[in-house]
Amino acid sequence: MLYIKFNIQDSSNYQDFEKLYDHMVKVRQPEFEFEEEDGPEFDWGGMTQAEVDDTVEKLSTFLDQAPEERRYLAIIPAYVNEFLQSYLQVDNEKLGALGIQETLSIFNYLEFDFEVDMDKIEKLNAQSGIIEFSTGNYPFGGLERFLITLRAYGLTPTECFDGFNICTIEWNSDFEYSTTKLPERTKVYLNRN
């Protein structure tokens, strides 16, 4: 069982993250399909010209938006989006001409490229929690973007088991961290059954 332990800075942020967690569980279910969106419906006959113009603008915005962008906006709070944009700005500056990432790339990773089954999220106490997950695939998409996502919610990762090692996580800045392998704890953890 892979896991990430984290500190909770704000319990309302934890509740916000649970919404994303539930979405991640849902999209991993066999036979899962996203619901088709019909788009907004309007009563065109009873509108003034100003209301028609406003409605056309809303409809145009809806049609211009990709379904994953609508899911992102419905699930990801503004403060998380702001954090992820800042993270990607730093990351994009490092990448330079190699390419530009956008926040939707992280959402795509969370939905599809983080190839794990989300087994459990639990508050250990008011200040800490754990996420347990499993995978049959190595590599499974890596942990970095998931760690950053947790951090965006004010859930600061402190320890993880990545399938090979238990590591402590020390944050050097909002976006950079270092890990320290704990071989003795890893050995005990791997031999616990």
Position 92 scores a pLDDT of 63
Give the contacts of 168 (CB within 8 A, at least 6 positions apart): 158, 159, 179, 180, 182
Please report, rounded to a whole number, the percentage of residues in the chain having pLDDT higher than 70. Answer: 88
89 has a pLDDT exceeding 90: no
| Residue 82 to residue 40: CA distance in whole angstroms | 27
Find the mean pLDDT for residues 62-66.
70
Q: Which of 103, 91, 123, 89 is nearest to 21 (CA)?
A: 123
Residue 150 falls inside a structural domain: yes
Q: State the amino acid at position 97 in one-letter form.
A: A
Residue 41 falls inside a structural domain: no
Residue 75 falls inside a structural domain: yes
Residue 121 falls inside a structural domain: yes
| Residue 182 to residue 192: CA distance in whole angstroms | 15
Position 174 scores a pLDDT of 94
> What's the domain range around 65?
2-30+47-190
Name the token pair of 70. Answer: 């609508």
Residue 38 falls inside a structural domain: no
Residue 36 falls inside a structural domain: no
Residue with the bigger pLDDT between 68 and 92: it is 68
Q: Which helix (H) or strand (E) holds 5?
A: strand 2-8
Position 129 scores a pLDDT of 98
119 has a pLDDT exceeding 90: yes
Residue 40 falls inside a structural domain: no
Find the mean pLDDT for residues 151-171.
97
48 has a pLDDT exceeding 90: no
State how many domains the chain has. Answer: 1
Position 102 scores a pLDDT of 79
98 has a pLDDT exceeding 60: no
Residue 86 falls inside a structural domain: yes
Q: Which of 172, 149, 152, 168 is nearest to 160 (CA)?
A: 168
pLDDT band at 34 (very low <50, low <70, confident <90, very high): confident
Pair 152, 72: CB distance under 8 Å:
no
Residue with the bigger pLDDT between 172 and 52: it is 172
